[in-house]
Structure 1
């Protein structure tokens, strides 16, 4: 009986965590927003137990900060946190690009080309804007992570790294002027993957992420988290 009850509570907690995560990543809940257990429990018409579990799950993914005697808030990423994330991103995504090139099947280059063609149309409509991609099958980096065929890399990127990077994008939407350059870098990475050249694909991906970090770093401001 208790096992079934625990499973039911787990399902409820997962549902709450998913709903809150969607709101955090979309920007509906901004960094620093307080996540009160009582208010969330009333909203979802549940007890505080599943809410506490859900917030714990979000804390593990890095999108929520829980401070003793203060409660939970949408995480605010400081400059040092952002730099650390990009360092990990460069390591994981460069390896993903190398593996994607080694595992590339016939037609992979055409598929990536079609995807980047869609991105080109979107960027041409806003040539001075940021390179904002729709999550999922239209996200160039997500597609390459899946092509790599390494479930551990994919899990770390999708469950931990990308959600935390989304917090940065939500807070720093004014990173402009990167679209055209980033698209050219994506094309070069796609060409290396299509050619099966893993070493070049990895090198180009690392350079691309470094350029992305340099553009973002110029927009970052100090946060309270950095000064504690």
Structure 2
């Protein structure tokens, strides 16, 4: 549990509250739909309500908190329709990022990308039935490609808005399994196109990769929803 014991400037207070709440929401410590009361949070973090209100507004902009009129803030519950919309945007932006990365990547970039995928390969081989866990932003294949794209707008939209929502989606559906081996193979094909400097192929392969990811996820979401309905009728 995060606490804030110091009395920082307003900007630092907002950042501290925001970081703490983000971590707890994305870890599932604060559950979907749970109310985030300003007064309770202000007391907990020993700050005024102003920084709390600003932090909640920032988290709402990131798509992981909902500000409900006359009710306050709550942790967002991401529906199947929400997930589908997120993946549509992800497919468009990440395929463009892959194309730009192929056009801009240096030999050093390609070498580092190959080393990253080798590292991922060892991780997936150790847990072939598990999810494809990539670690922090420096070790995440998609974030690395977004950085290599050199497009600050794509990077900002994905890193600050779309990826937090995808992280919340994964938190809310912990039973969803990954596509470890298949996803790794798709990543390698994309990396090969980037190595060849072929932006068109990199874009196509990334589009297919995201589409495959959504097909797997949507099937599992539908199956989970059917199981819930069956249990409710039992």
Do these two structures clear the TM 0.5 threshold for a shared fold by scoring above it? yes
Separation of aligned partners in 1, 2:93 and 2:196:
21
Residue of structure 1 equivalent to 2:76 = 75
Let me know the Cα RMSD of the aligned residues: 1.5
- Aligned with 2:139: secondary structure? coil
Deviations 1:119-144 (A, max 9, x none): 11111121111112212100000000
Offset, 1:177: 5.1
- Per mean C-alpha deviation after superposition, the further-off stretch among 109-118 and 94-103 is 109-118
Unaligned runs of 5+ in 1: 1-6, 223-228
Distance 1:162 1:100 in 2: 19
Instruction: Name the residue aligned to 1:3.
Output: none
- 1:161 and 2:162 correspond: yes
Checking the alignment, whether the CA contact within 8 Å between 1:92 and 1:153 is kept in structure 2 is yes
Counterpart Cα distance in 1 of 2:145 and 2:102: 9
User: Which residue is equivalent to 2:109?
Assistant: 108
Deviates more, 1:11-20 or 1:92-101: 11-20
TM-score normalised by structure 2 residue count = 0.88
Q: Tell me, what secondary structure is at the counterpart of 1:32? A: coil
Matching of residue 152 in structure 1 with residue 131 in structure 2:
no
Counterpart mapping for 1:120-199 below 5 A: 120-176=121-177, 178-199=179-200
Aligned in 2, Cα 1:127/1:154: closer, same or farther, shift over 3 Å?
A: same
In 1, Cα distance between equivalents of 2:133 and 2:193: 23
Deviates more, 1:121-130 or 1:160-169: 121-130
Query: 1:146 aligns to what SS in structure 2?
Result: helix
User: Aligned partners of 1:218, 1:195: CA distance in 2, in Å?
Assistant: 34
Larger mean Cα displacement after TM superposition, 99-108 or 34-43:
34-43
1:117 aligns with 2:118: yes
Task: Report the equivalent of 2:61.
Answer: 60
Distance 1:16 1:62 in 2: 16
Structure 2 unmatched ranges of 5 or more: 1-7, 226-234
Higher normalized contact order (CA 8 Å, seq sep 6+, divided by chain length) = 1
Aligned-residue offset at 1:31: 2.1
Q: Matches of 1:21 and 1:112 in 2, distance apart? A: 29
TM-score using structure 1 length: 0.90
Deviates more, 1:110-119 or 1:96-105: 110-119
CA–CA distance in structure 2, aligned partners of residues 27 and 121 of structure 1:
28
For residues 97 and 205 of structure 1, what CA distance do their matches in structure 2 show?
Answer: 7
Aligned length: 216
